[in-house]
Amino acid sequence: MVKIVFVCLGNICRSPMAEFIMKDLISKANLNDKFTICSAGTAGYHDGEDMHYKTKSLLKDKDIISEPFYSKKLTEKICKENDYIIVMDNANFKDVVKNFPDFKHKIQKITSYAVELGYDEVPDPWYSGNFEETYNILSIACLNLFHIFNKY
């Protein structure tokens, strides 16, 4: 079993997008019993809320299921329960190391799974407004992640 938590700042745009792209790849490959996927934010600004409506509509356009989902803040328990903490940008990386130093060895940046795209960080569509750009990066990174972790 491979357990992954995707982490961004608000847990309503990038990490839920990664969560449901990854779940879609896994379920289409009939590998639900091999993976556990979730997401969380370094901040709890949107605790209990649904994902951003533009994340939701983009996933719908791509025929990707986006529920059940409730935004939540990253906790010690979530870090402990997961094998990999996959963050979206350098600020997320720093925040997770600062708040949960015992789990530094589990943290990776998702852009390291799509180096061919040349992004150091996943741009935050909350600020850029460009949900499609974020999707393009995350879909490739998740596919690469899926192939790598499926070998474990």
CB of 11 or CB of 82, closer to ligand 4NP: 11
Q: Which of 44, 45, 62, 150 lies at the binding interface for ligand 4NP (CB under 6 A)? A: 45
Select the span of 5-13, 62-70, 77-85, 135-143 touching ligand 4NP (CB under 6 A): 5-13
CB of 10 or CB of 149, closer to ligand 4NP: 10
Q: Does 12 bind ligand 4NP (CB under 6 A)?
A: yes
Q: Which residues pair with 142 in a beta bridge?
A: none
- DSSP, collapsed to helix, strand or coil, labels residue 45 as coil
Of all residues in this chain, which one has the CB nearest to ligand 4NP in the complex? 10
**Can you tell me the distance from the alpha carbon of 6 to that of 25, in angstroms, rounded to the nearest whole number?**
15
Tokens 């091999």 label which residue?
34
Distance of CA 142 to the CA centre of its chain: 9
CB of 24 or CB of 95, closer to ligand 4NP: 95
**Can you tell me the distance from the alpha carbon of 4 to that of 77, in angstroms, rounded to the nearest whole number?**
13
CA-nearest of 65, 59, 112, 64 to 89 is 112
* Residues numbered 85-124 forming contacts with ligand 4NP, rule: CB under 6 A: 124
Chain residues binding ligand 4NP by CB under 6 A are 8-14, 45, 124, 126
